[in-house]
Amino acid sequence: MILWKEFNNEANLPAVFEYLKFKKVGSYDNYIVYSNSINFYVVYKTLKGFYFYNTVSPEKKLQASDAFEIVLSKKDDNSKLSIWEKIDITIKSYEDKEIKKEVVLDLVDYNFNHFELVENELSTLNNDLFDKIKNNPVFNNSYIISNDKILYPLYNINNTLCGYLTEENGKIIPTLYTNPKYSLWFSNTNINFENIIVLNSPKEAISFHNNFKLDKIVFVVLSEINNTSVRTIKALNKISKSKKIIISFTGNNKTEGFIKDLKFLEQLQDNFSIKLLQNNISITFKIGHEKSFLSFYNQLNRYNKHLGQQFNNTFSEIDQFQIDKYAMKISKDNDFVSVKLPIEINALKHFIWNYTKQYLANELDVLKPKARSWEKQLEQLNLSENENIKDYKIAM
């Protein structure tokens, strides 16, 4: 078997990446960036040879054999060979071709991370958003200015800088070869904070703060709601004085925000799953304490009854098909409950309010702006200084 250690030490990584059909998407003095349409990989050179990393985890340094593994582990074939045999055979094939590629890169340290090359510039940037956060201790170290743009740094579960978000054409997007899937943006965590508020963009966090002017708060933004990001939030919440997580997801419309709430619940709860269908959402969760379930069940039935009354108040003839289309349907299977939830704003709001009240009253609060987003609310509404954040808790 080939000595992979020797191969890794001597391999020309740019040649390996091109042999494996990765696409080169960027080239700089001291690093080259490749992509496989899913991830970005940064190749750099040290005194001891080439290394690379996935931009999701810049702290995990990889070598040539790892590039072969990335490709071959995903390859769909009928081979009975083990992954190690496949790697070994492919490396031999690569070496037999005697691929030569001259690449000149400035040498860097083993712990190289291209995201750390971005320098924070002193700026007189004329930007309303920037004006609202500069010199505010809540947002210390949570943004930088580069090339007259605000960049929001992202961190992975190991607290490694793994990317940036920026604003372009009114939208917050990843930049500098960032894959934001498992990363988080934080406001200043070096304060004595009492609450964590989870939102879906730094602009929403800043707008939320300017609506309420709260201190002792840490804002967290999820680039994507998944198990890794929610696990990080749960760990951070353990060191806060409040044991409740506050979420306030928004979107292009209120329905989109409620669906994000459900996705967060799915990752927060071990026995809670959702499946998005064309016109409804199938939700399954564990019955739990009988008292909690009975309260949930009774509230759901009240909602359906009120729905029928609303229809009767509007139309002289009963159309049970129309009523059933927007009613929630519930069934039990041993220790689990299944709910068929219409994708309709009132039904979504009621379910989230009902479930969190009965099952997560001591763990989670859900806040919603009256406008479509906290940014729009800041533009449209003048909140008084006595405005209470509790008035924005989801309620029926």
Tokens representing 358 are 């009965």
> Global pTM?
0.88
Tens of pLDDT, residues 331-381: 999 999 999 999 999 999 999 999 999 999 999 999 999 999 998 888 876
- Return the pLDDT at 300: 97
In the chain, how long is the greatest CA-to-CA distance? 83
Average pLDDT over residues 131-150: 83
Those residues whose C-beta lies under 8 Å from the C-beta of residue 212, and which sit 6 or more positions away, are: 383, 387, 389
355 or 157, greater pLDDT: 355
CB-side neighbour CA atoms (13 Å) of 42? 27
- Whether 132 shows a pLDDT value over 80: the answer reads no
Q: How confident is the model at residue 313 (pLDDT cuts 50, 70, 90)?
A: confident
The 3-class secondary structure across the chain, one letter per residue, is: CCCHHHHHHHCCHHHHHHHCCCEEEEECCCCEEEECCCCEEEEEEECCEEEEEECCCCCCCECHHHHHHHHHCCCCCCCCCCHHHHHHHHHHHHHHCCCCCCCCCCCCCCCCCHHHHCCCCCCCCCCHHHHHHCCCHHHCCCCEEECCEEEEEEECCCCCEEEEEEEECCEEEEECCCCCCCCEEECCCCCCCCEEEEECCHHHHHHHHHHHCCCCEEEEEECCCCHHHHHHHHHHHCCCCCCCEEECCCCCCHHHHHHHHHHHHHHHCCCEEEEECCCEEEEEEECCCHHHHHHHHHHHHHHHHHHHHHHHHHCCCCCHHHHHHHCCEEEEECCEEEEEEECCHHHHHHHHHHHHHHHCCCCEEEECCCCCCHHHHHHHCCCCCCCCHHHHECCC
Which of the residue ranges 132-141, 198-207, 366-375 would you say has the lowest mean pLDDT? Answer: 132-141
- Whether 242 shows a pLDDT value over 60: the answer reads yes
Average pLDDT over residues 228-256: 89
Tokens representing 333 are 């299977």
- Return the pLDDT at 1: 43
Question: What is the residue-averaged pLDDT of the chain?
Answer: 89
Beta strands at 280-286 and 336-342: parallel, antiparallel or unpaired: antiparallel
Tens of pLDDT, residues 259-275: 999 999 999 999 999 99
Beta strands at 32-35 and 40-46: parallel, antiparallel or unpaired: antiparallel
- Return the pLDDT at 384: 54
Which of the residue ranges 123-127, 253-257, 334-338 would you say has the lowest mean pLDDT? Answer: 123-127
